[in-house]
Structures are given as structure tokens and as C-alpha cells.
């Protein structure tokens, strides 16, 4: 099974060169992504694939249930690099329906460390929005928590020093506020993205 990885890699590389003989030469010159994608590790939600993006256009950070936490040094470093060095104009936080991490957080059970420690952050979203979430039942409750989790992670991104500094600098220089932060949810059942309302003016200065 694993040996087919190399076979498929060679087939993919050949097909790319056939379509564009300079494809890899252009990639080797460097990357200039327009999007930082913070998504879930779920194998059904590959960032480039679901938005039809070419290699080199999306900078990606993925983890269970698309969290962006102050204690996650990896995520913080990815964000800083994307903003300060790659200067991406757009940041996407993308969750997805039927998220195993969100489902697990809704269960009253101990999943063991470190997974249980990670899920605690989703339970904080549940606590913050308890009055709303308890009005939903069954699958509707899971889906709503998926959406609220995305919104909360967008706000976590907003609150970082890197984002605030960059947004203020671009406003002063060009009259534009960049990077823009977008909250999306991917529906694995139909392959479509849904945009969530996220305030773009939070903590501007």
C-alpha cells in the first residue's frame, strides 16, 4: 500500500511537467501564497484541493478541530511567518461539519492526555455559547458548535500582536486593512464551503 505513494508521486510529477514544463522550476524560485489556511487535520479536508488552488498559493497549518491557541507555539510561529515574511493578505480558519474533534468534545468522557487537554478548548467554546447551543439537538448541535468554534478561532487570530500590527500598518500606509480574516465551514457531504459572519473591525488599533 505505502509503496504506491512513490508511484503516484512520479505520475503526479510527470502530469505537472506535461501541463507546464516549467512548473517545478517556478516553484523552486520561492512561494508567494495569498492565503494562510488554518484548518482541521481531517483527511477529508485538504486545503488546496477543496478550493482548487495551485501549489505555492496556500500556506497551511492544520490540527484537530482547527484550533488557534495562544499556547500553541507551532500555530503562533506559522501565523507570524505568514504575516511578517510572506505578507499574506487573507487568513482562513476553516472547520468542517462531521468534525471528530468537535464530536469528542461534546462527549462526557476522558479521552486521555494529550487529546483531552486539546479538546478542553472546544469545551470552552461550548461554555461561552451554552445558552445558544443547548437550543439545538442531535446533529444540529454538533454543526452549530463547529460553526461557533470557527468564529472563536477567528477571534483568537485577530487578537495576536502580529495581526494587529500588520492591520494597523496597512491601514496607515494604503488605507486598506490587511490581512482579512475569514471563517469558513466545509460540508464533507456536498463539497461546498459556507462563509460565517466574523467582525472585521475587532481590535483594529
Binding site per annotation, positions for Zn(2+): 40, 42, 96, 99
Our separate counts of H helices and E strands in the chain read 9, 5
Q: Report the C-alpha gap between 13 and 25 in whole angstroms.
A: 12
Concerning whether 94 is annotated as a catalytic residue, the answer is no
Q: Is 20 one of the annotated active-site residues of the chain?
A: no
Binding residues are 40, 42, 96, 99
CA distances (Å), 163 to each of 38, 84, 115, 173, in order? Answer: 14, 9, 28, 15
Catalytic residue flag (residue 124): no
Task: Check 94, 99, 143, 154 and give the catalytic one.
Answer: 99
In three-state secondary structure terms, 135 is coil
Residue 192's DSSP bridge partners are 187
Q: Catalytic site residue 44?
A: yes
Q: Among the options 11, 17, 44, 120, which is catalytic?
A: 44
Catalytic residue among 40, 154, 166, 167: 40
* End-to-end CA separation in angstroms for the chain: 53
Catalytic residue among 17, 29, 42, 62: 42
Query: Who's near 34: CB < 8 A, 6+ residues apart?
Result: 57, 58, 88, 89, 90
Q: Which of 72, 94, 96, 124 is catalytic?
A: 96
* Catalytic residue flag (residue 131): no
Q: Among all residues, which ones are annotated catalytic?
A: 40, 42, 44, 96, 99
Amino acid at each position: 500500500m505505502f509503496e504506491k505513494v512513490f508511484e503516484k508521486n512520479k505520475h503526479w510529477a510527470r502530469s505537472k511537467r506535461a501541463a507546464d514544463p516549467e512548473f517545478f522550476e517556478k516553484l523552486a524560485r520561492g512561494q508567494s501564497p495569498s492565503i494562510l489556511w488554518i484548518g482541521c487535520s481531517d483527511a477529508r479536508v485538504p486545503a488546496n484541493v477543496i478550493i482548487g488552488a495551485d501549489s505555492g498559493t496556500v500556506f497551511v497549518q492544520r490540527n484537530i478541530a482547527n484550533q488557534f491557541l495562544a499556547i500553541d507555539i507551532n500555530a503562533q510561529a506559522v501565523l507570524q511567518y505568514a504575516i511578517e515574511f510572506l505578507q499574506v493578505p487573507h487568513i482562513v480558519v476553516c472547520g468542517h461539519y462531521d468534525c471528530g474533534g468537535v464530536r469528542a468534545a461534546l462527549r462526557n468522557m476522558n479521552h486521555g492526555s494529550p487529546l483531552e487537554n486539546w479538546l478542553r478548548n472546544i469545551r470552552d467554546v461550548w461554555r461561552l455559547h451554552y445558552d445558544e447551543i443547548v437550543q439545538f439537538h442531535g446533529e444540529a448541535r454538533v454543526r452549530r458548535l463547529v460553526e461557533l468554534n470557527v468564529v472563536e478561532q477567528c477571534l483568537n487570530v485577530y487578537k495576536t500582536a502580529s495581526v494587529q500590527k500588520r492591520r494597523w500598518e496597512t491601514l496607515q500606509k494604503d488605507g486598506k486593512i490587511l490581512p482579512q480574516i475569514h471563517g469558513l465551514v466545509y460540508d464533507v457531504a456536498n463539497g461546498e464551503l459556507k462563509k460565517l459572519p466574523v467582525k472585521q473591525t475587532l481590535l483594529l488599533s
